Amino acid sequence: MALDKNGIAKRIAKELKDGYYVNLGIGIPTLVANYIPSGMEVILQSENGLLGIGPFPPDDEVDADLINAGKQTVTAVTGASFFDSSLSFAMIRGGHVNLTLLGAFEVSEKGDIASWKVPEKLVKGMGGAMDLVASAKRIIVAMQHTNKEGESKLLRQCTLPLTGVGCVKRIVTDLAVVDVTENGFKLVERAPGISVEEIIKATEAPLLVEGDIPEMDLS
Amino acid sequence: MALDKNGIAKRIAKELKDGYYVNLGIGIPTLVANYIPSGMEVILQSENGLLGIGPFPPDDEVDADLINAGKQTVTAVTGASFFDSSLSFAMIRGGHVNLTLLGAFEVSEKGDIASWKVPEKLVKGMGGAMDLVASAKRIIVAMQHTNKEGESKLLRQCTLPLTGVGCVKRIVTDLAVVDVTENGFKLVERAPGISVEEIIKATEAPLLVEGDIPEMDLS
Amino acid sequence: MNKVVKDAYEAIRDIGDNATIMVGGFGLCGIPENLLIALSESRVRGLTCISNNAGVDGFGLGKLLNTRQVRKMISSYVGENKEFERQLMAGELEVELIPQGTLAERCRAGGAGIPAFFVPAGYGTEVAEGKEVREFNGKMHLLETALTADFALIKAWKGDTKGNLIFRATANNFNQAMGMAGRITIAEVEELVPAGSLDPNCIHLPGIFVQRIFQGSNYEKKIEFRTVRST
Amino acid sequence: MNKVVKDAYEAIRDIGDNATIMVGGFGLCGIPENLLIALSESRVRGLTCISNNAGVDGFGLGKLLNTRQVRKMISSYVGENKEFERQLMAGELEVELIPQGTLAERCRAGGAGIPAFFVPAGYGTEVAEGKEVREFNGKMHLLETALTADFALIKAWKGDTKGNLIFRATANNFNQAMGMAGRITIAEVEELVPAGSLDPNCIHLPGIFVQRIFQGSNYEKKIEFRTVRST
């Protein structure tokens, strides 16, 4: 069965390593924070100037001066630090953030990503997304395999305005884990109970399938 | 009579204005701090990361962590701030420092300055001098009019390796105040008792002399 | 040399029509509330506003949009504002969208005397149109230029009479870099203290960058998305 | 994830021959004394050192010069050191001189992922040789490239177990920018405290930039020019 958002977040949490500095985008990536394995230290970076995002505050500790990049009130963990936007993006652009997780409208088999603009419909701006995708050491996209109309979001070529080119290395969807390789998309894992055929059908671009494709470990 | 170093510093102090941020180079410029008119606030910037240099410390307050750009122990005034070298030069390069005073080996009639290197003899490095002369809003050179061999230091062209080009606007020497104009050096003031002829003689480059040249006010 | 002004009205007295202003803040966090109110009550028109966001309807920069004082916005993200969208769609407002990190660095560069620099953000996207592209270390980069402003309107937590500023938590954001880039930088602070009251080791923006300072009043500090955990 | 190491010897264990290292400090102020001692006692050779200065005879980077471990210095000012001059004149040492502000900004740029930027410093001088020149706002500028290092050796006043650092007075200088630019940044601190002990608003260098940290010992803090006023 296709994964729900929490299932996708759970699978992505497997990509984390102890000591990682991670930037979580809005949407499914935010949920990943709930599945960090206990005993593992992962430090969350917020591009508006916080290293060490903590959980949402209790009602009586809400602080208007302490928000995340989604403008939600948050807390800061022990050992956190605050800094200005130029230093925050120095961390991102300089490759100090180990992993960036973000959502997308479309990803191409070259690793191009479209995530910020739907002409005539959505023109709110790219925020920090272009900086993140152009700079991060490793970028994983979390998204549904298909859009609301059932059309594949894994394409030969993106149709929407790009956020970045050739930057996505891995995509985790409700159906599969797909890597972007020199030869295009490669199927790495299946969601539990999802067949290779179903994934191929939901993928507009060609999909390399080599040998047995294991199911995701969601333990 | 030609001014001594303190006389030059005294004359330069007349260039200060209330609220000025000033970078003082090593040598005569350092002496200018002694002649800031009382009631006038001038804030001294040290390129190693201090805004608000105070006097030298009493013997029992020497602090190895608190030095000026000449590596001398100093103090910090009330309202001072400390910062890193990149921010310090952001202040300088960004034109936030109102006035830079520094010494020189030679100045040309185009405003070129040579102050850091004597080939085969002195190759210690330029330190912050190139940043300062290329960036400051206003640069005044404090130096002797002639060198130890009696040769003019105000030249048609510098003979030594340059620190910067076309950047010096005014020169205060033991003999005169000279401005760099589009038409070359222009005599502005004479040291008390020094004649225009003496100054012309000590200046290798042509010197524009228009009307009566007043004596410096050293009150 | 006195940098202290009485209030926001005195601070903005010489902002004229068609001025370019930078406005600190991220969303509604760390915005110069008093200065924006004073500006919205002034007759100034045709402003170019450099600000990461455009406020919300009727608050923050939203005030200036409602009064039609803004000709052009230079921002990274301008959601959360219906009047903004209306003016944009109606062609009444010009908008230039810039990646957030590039925006921050362009402001810092403006303050630091660095006229241009290369960044990877936006390569291959519409942001790259008309920009010089160059490869460094096997990766493509765009040449971006510095931003400066006639006035930078910023907000700090504490400030002293010499203009030294300290920000609090994530309310710093763009205030620091924009404070460097204003030809005249005006800082409003929650608490104005005498020089010498702040630790000189902990100054985020040294006074050399700040031309005017005053203690603001009646901070609303609106929250865009109040999010809490159930305890 | 543990960043804390026992001492300088453990911290530098994997610095190999021909490594490029950055060393913080201005003169002898804010230099990583413990790390330089450990390095001078190691067998490492052929180092390229990026440091504003070259220490004095027998102290600071002067130690590494005495032991002939340095192949090349990249600095802005290298006076105050006779052995340095001797090696330079004898052609045993390569030296690249860089304007101080450009050096600081090249380090910051290296840490900030900005591969190149324009500055006015050095235009028309020998520093400009081989560099791209471009005019901005009627003024000539040079294109300067980022500096990074295999290891950055820096010194802070206080640090916590997450690697967050606070510097003191003018002992910050190049430590902050170099700390950003090391692929592995090693910080020695006068006082190592548990995470949470430092004010998160007053961190000069956040822990993300620091890979190893330890509390140094026996700080000499030599003064180059002890200058006092008569009281």
Residue A192 domain-assigned? Answer: yes
Calpha distance D217→A150 (Å, rounded): 65
3-state secondary structure chain B: CCCCHHHHHHHHHCCCCCCCEEEECCCHHHHHHHHCCCCCCCEEEECCCEEEECCCCCHHHCCCCCECCCCEECCEEEEEEECEHHHHHHHHHCCCCCEEEECCCEEECCCCEECCCECCCECCCCCCHHHHHHHCCCEEEECCCECCCCCECEECCCCCCCCECCCCCEEECCCEEEEEECCEEEEEEECCCCCHHHHHHCCCCCEECCCCCCECCCC
Do residues C218 and A59 lie in contact, with contact meaning Cβ atoms separated by under 8 Å?
no
**E strand or H helix that includes residue A101:** strand A99-102
Q: In chain B, what is the greatest distance between 2 CA atoms, to the nearest angstrom?
A: 55
At A187 the pLDDT is 98
Name the strand (E) or helix (H) holding C95: strand C94-97
Three-class SS state of A211: coil
pLDDT confidence of residue C230: 81
B59-99: per-residue pLDDT in tens?
999 999 999 999 999 999 999 999 999 999 999 999 999 99
Contact by Cβ (8 Å): B149, B109? no
Quickly count: other Cβ atoms within 10 Å of residue C217's Cβ.
Answer: 11
B84 to chain C: closest CA residue: C201
Structure-token pair, residue D98? 């860089």
Is C1 within the bounds of a domain? no
For chain C, which chains pass the contact test of at least 3 CB pairs under 8 Å? Answer: A, B, D
pLDDT digits (tens, 9 = 90+) for B87-139: 999 999 999 999 999 999 999 999 999 999 988 776 789 999 999 999 988 99
Q: Which chain D residues are closer than 8 Å to B71 by Cβ? A: 26-29, 224-225
Q: Which residue of chain D has the CA closest to C139?
A: D115
Question: D212 — phi, psi (to 5°)?
Answer: -140, 145
Tens digits of per-residue pLDDT, B205-216? 999 999 999 999
Question: Residues A137-143: what's their mean pLDDT?
Answer: 94
Farthest CA pair distance, chain A: 55
CATH number at residue A11: 3.40.1080.10
Residue A218 lies in a domain: no
How many Cα atoms occupy the beta-carbon half-sphere of A85 within 13 Å? 36
pTM of the model: 0.97
DSSP state of C138: T
Write the residue in C117, C166, C169 that is nearest to D114 by C-beta.
C117
What per-residue confidence (pLDDT) applies to D81? 81
| pLDDT for A136 beyond 90 | no
A171-207: pLDDT as tens digits = 999 999 999 999 999 999 999 999 999 999 999 999 9
| pLDDT at residue number D231 | 66
Query: How many CB pairs lie under 8 A apart between chains B and C?
Result: 60
SS (H, E, C) chain D: CCCECCCHHHHCCCCCCCCEEEECCECCECCCHHHHHHHHCCCCCCEEEECCCCCECCECHHHHHHCCCEEEEEECCCCCCHHHHHHHHCCCCEEEECCHHHHHHHHHHHHHCCCEEEECCCCCCHHHCCCCEEEECCEEEEEEECCCEEEEEEEEEEEECCCCEECCHHHCECHHHHHHHEEEEEEEEEEEECCCCCCHHHCCECHHHCCEEEECCCCCCCCCECCCCCC
Q: What is the pLDDT of residue C88?
A: 84
Catalytic residue among B47, B106, B109, B189: B47
Q: Is the pLDDT of residue A143 over 80?
A: yes
The bridge status of strand D149-160 relative to strand D20-23 is parallel
Q: What is the mean pLDDT of chain A?
A: 95
Structure tokens at B213: 């040249």
Report if residue C3 sits inside a domain: no
Expressed as residue numbers, the domain containing D17 is 8-115+147-215
DSSP state of A36: P
Cα–Cα distance measured from residue C75 to residue D46, given in angstroms and rounded to the nearest whole number: 48
Instruction: Compute the average pLDDT of residues A9-18.
Output: 96
* Half-sphere exposure at residue B43, Cβ-oriented, CA atoms within 13 angstroms: 26
CB atoms within 10 A of CB B122: 12
From the list B97, A81, B45, the residue with the least C-alpha distance to D203 is A81
Residues of chain C in contact with residue A64, where contact means CB-CB under 8 angstroms, are 28-29, 171, 221-223
Domain tally for chain D? 1
Question: Position A125: which residue type?
Answer: G
- Domain membership flag for residue B218: no
Which residue in A81, A89, A100, A137 has the most chain D C-beta atoms within 10 A of its own C-beta, making it the best mutation to test that interface? A81
Does D1 map to a domain? no
Cα–Cα distance for residue pair D212/D210, rounded to 1 Å: 6
Residue D186: inside a domain, yes or no? Answer: yes
| Neighbour-count burial of D136, counting CB atoms closer than 10 A to its CB (0-12 exposed, 13-18 middle, 19+ buried) | middle
pLDDT of residue C231: 66
Residues of C in CB contact (< 8 Å) with B are: 1, 108, 110-114, 160-162, 164, 180, 195-196, 200-201, 203, 206-209
Distance to chain B for D216, nearest Cα, Å: 16
Residues of chain D with pLDDT under 70: 231
Tokens of A69: 């990049």
- For chain D, first and last CA: distance in Å? 52
For B159, residues 6+ apart whose C-beta sits below 8 A from its C-beta are: B106, B114
The answer for D 124-183 residues in CB contact with C (under 8 A) is 134, 136-137, 139, 141, 145, 166-169
For residue D79, tell me if it sits in a domain. yes
- If chain C, 231 residues long, is cut into consecutive pieces of 10 residues, what is the mean pLDDT of each piece? 96 98 97 97 97 91 94 91 84 94 98 98 97 97 98 98 98 98 98 98 98 97 92 66
Is A47 noted as a catalytic residue in this protein? yes
Q: Residue C70's beta-bridge partner residues?
A: C47
Gap between the Cα atoms of C138 and C128, Å rounded: 18
Please write the tens of the pLDDT for every residue from B151-199: 999 999 999 999 999 999 999 999 999 999 999 999 999 999 999 999 9
Chains C and D form CB pairs within 8 A to the count of: 55
**What pLDDT was estimated at residue C90?**
87
Q: How many CB atoms lie within 10 A of CB B37?
A: 11
Q: List helix spans (H) across C90-153.
A: 100-112
Q: Are B53 and B44 in contact (CB under 8 A)?
A: yes
Q: Give the separation between CA B130 and CA B118, rounded to whole angstroms.
A: 15
Structurally, chain B folds into a number of domains equal to 1
Strand order in the sheet with D116-119: C133-136, C139-145, C116-119, D116-119, D139-145, D133-136
* Cβ(B189)–Cβ(B8) below 8 Å: no
Residue-number span of the structural domain to which B85 is assigned: 5-208
Which of D51, D125, D222 to substitute to test the interface with B, most B CBs within 10 Å?
Answer: D125
Domain membership of residue A24 (yes or no) is: yes
Return the number of other C-beta atoms located less than 10 Å from residue C221's C-beta. Answer: 14
Cα separation of B28 and A46, whole Å? 49
Report the length, in residues, of chain C: 231
Contacts A80 to D, Cβ<8 Å: 200
Nearest CB partner across the interface for A51, out of D1, D111, D208: D208
CATH number at residue D35: 3.40.1080.10
The answer to whether residue C86 neighbours chain D at the CB level (below 8 Å) is: no
